[in-house]
Amino acid sequence: MSEPFFRTSCPSCGAPVQVQSPTAITVVCSYCNSMLVLQDNSLHDTGRDSALLQDFSPIQISTTGTHQGQGFTVVGRLQAKYDAGVWNEWYIQFNNGENGWLSEAGDIHVITRQIATPDNAPPFNEIRAGISTLDYGKTFIASDVREITLSNAAAQGELPFRLPEHYQNRVADWRCENAFLTLDYSDTPPQAFLGSTTQLNQLFLQNTRSDDQIRQSAGSLKGTRQSENCPHCGSPVQWLRGITPTVICPSCGSDLDTSEEKAKLIAANEMRQAQQDALPLPIGTTGKIHGNSYTVIGAARYEELNPDDAHAALYGSPLSLTPVDWWREYLLYSPNQGFLWLVETSQNKWALSETQTEFPPLGQSASAIGSADDAHDRVLQGFMPKNAYKLYDYGGRVSYAAGAFYWHIRAGDITYYQDYQQGEAKLSAQRTRNELAWSKNTPVSRQQLATWFQFDGNNAPRYTAQMQPDPVSRQMVWLMIGIFILLNIPAWLKMNDDDFGFSLVLSGVIVWILYKAGSNRSEDEDDD
């Protein structure tokens, strides 16, 4: 780490304060959390405290890393709040003296630097997530459009501006594959930041938070359970501390905010307890996926909606929405790897779902040309992933949720989906009024789930990786052949020669089909 640009003592508690960046204006004392403002080479106490929300992030002030061959040090943090959650903005200083931001939203990480504002930057109120595009060397699509809250209560370290006590801001993110463009509408024209998505293991991070540091700062080890009585019904509620800001009471369905380590009632609604009890993967179930331990921390049931109805509900007049099907999504968390999803359909088909750090390359769909008024094509303005073909559009509405999530999930939330086949996997574009995200879904077999979560044979889901019912066992096939022959012997004895001949041929075909099924099963078992 480089030599501090500025050294002094905190005017509130007297502790030593070091300023690493020459562009820093706001500094938060690491000892007493006083909010300090740098003026005339001295620090002034604003009289306000900074109470940072603890979370699951391994990053901390003084964490170092490397991005595109350039070393950097984390010197500050902001937590931006929006209606459904929070995300971290880490202020970083590169070894060459430049500064940038490391954004951390759920399982997405982005590094950006400030650039000149594009001449064609649109007004904020004209931007629509998943629809609006922006040409800046390449075609960007709006991926996240929000009004956010920034305050001194969610700041740490050094920041390049004076942070008001509380103010609202408007931000629009744009994506093109791994390229990431942010327009910050706190000024006119908006400030612009350009960079790319990344993964933590690609940054070669050093001096990250250890388990002991997390235990000291958060009061308990990352991912351990905290328990409290629901303020609505009094039933015990448990959640994984420091991971998610929202918990839903499994007894009464009350929506609880745990971001400040206390279960505060947001909204109360009745929950069907039997539905949670019937979950094939109950909250708290642990499994080992790709060599890493994961815990089921949340589950949500979605009602499938007609795509036109879902689009109208998002952008038009409210409709009386009639579900046509349902599915469930399970949120899995690993302290080392982050988040994964398991998706369960009403047909008992399963898939592993991963949020895509990079957006897929998009090309214009010929079928969409000239049909921009169609509700389906408006979602991505006729653009679709390259090397993929369109499957279908549909809507989803949250009917209930249980457990914990890294955003505030609510009953009635509506999402518009577009699914595409790409090889053996399925790409899914998921859009709300504020956000566009992509996920990749890979089918999961009964055998694979049983291996991951140590199911017994009776409780494991009954579908293969090809999303087809599992073939019956070889022993069962031969038993069925025997029963078939025994049941037909009395009928054969009473038939005349013509009927017997026809029946024998037909029976032979049936026995052959059953035999082939048993042979195929035997080959599959030998392969295993």
Distances (CA, A) of 87 to 174, 275, 401, 459: 17, 31, 22, 38
Kindly report, residue by residue over 113-135, the tens digit of the pLDDT. Answer: 999 999 999 999 999 998 899 99
What is the per-residue pLDDT for 406?
A: 73
Q: How far apart are CA 220 and CA 258, in angstroms?
A: 15
Per-residue pLDDT band at 312 (split at 50, 70, 90) = confident
Q: Residue 358: which of 143, 191, 112 has the closest Cα?
A: 143
| Residue that has been written with the tokens 């070669």 in this structure | 204
Q: What span, in angstroms and rounded, lies between the C-alpha atoms of 310 and 325?
A: 13
Q: What is the residue type of 418?
A: Q
Q: Comparing 131-145, 178-192, 359-373, which segment has the lowest mean pLDDT?
A: 359-373
| Lowest pLDDT segment from 18-27, 118-127, 427-436 | 18-27
Q: Among the listed ranges 321-330, 346-355, 513-522, which one has the minimum average pLDDT value? A: 513-522
pLDDT tens by residue, 139-175: 999 999 998 887 766 788 999 988 877 778 899 999 9
The Cα 145–Cα 134 span in angstroms is 14
Q: Give yes or no for a contact between 357 and 339, defined as CB atoms under 8 angstroms apart.
A: no
Mean pLDDT over the full length of the chain: 76
CA distance 170 to 180: 17
Q: Which amino acid is at 211?
A: D
Q: Which 3-state string (H, E, C) describes 335-369?
A: CCCEEEEEEEECCCCEEEEEECCCCCCEEECHHHC
Instruction: Check residue 401 and give its pLDDT.
Output: 75
DSSP string, 498-521: HHHHHHHHHHHHHHHHHHHHHHHH
What's residue 212's pLDDT?
Answer: 55
Contact of 278 with 266, CB cutoff 8 Å? no
For residue 456, what pLDDT is reported?
58
Q: Is 98 helix (H, G, I), strand (E, B) or coil?
A: coil
Rounded-to-integer distance, Cα 293 and Cα 286, Å: 7
- How does DSSP assign 258-302, residue by residue? -TTSS-EEEE-----HHHHHT-SS-TT-EEEETTEEEEEEEEEEE
Distance from C-alpha of 323 to C-alpha of 283, rounded to nearest angstrom: 25
Q: Say which range, 55-59, 299-303, 374-378, 402-406, has the weakest mean pLDDT.
A: 374-378
Distances (CA, A) of 163 to 36, 37, 93, 428: 10, 9, 19, 38
The pLDDT tens digits of the residues spanning 30-81 come to 666 666 776 666 666 666 555 444 566 788 899 999 999 999 999 999 888 8
Q: What is the pLDDT of residue 369?
A: 33
Number of Cβ within a 10 Å radius of residue 386: 11
Output 468 or 252, whichever has higher pLDDT.
252
pLDDT of residue 55: 62
- Sign of CA pseudo-dihedral 132, 134, 139, 144: negative
Per-residue pLDDT at 378: 43
pLDDT above 90: residue 203? yes
* Whether the Cβ atoms of residue 82 and residue 147 lie closer than 8 Å to each other: yes
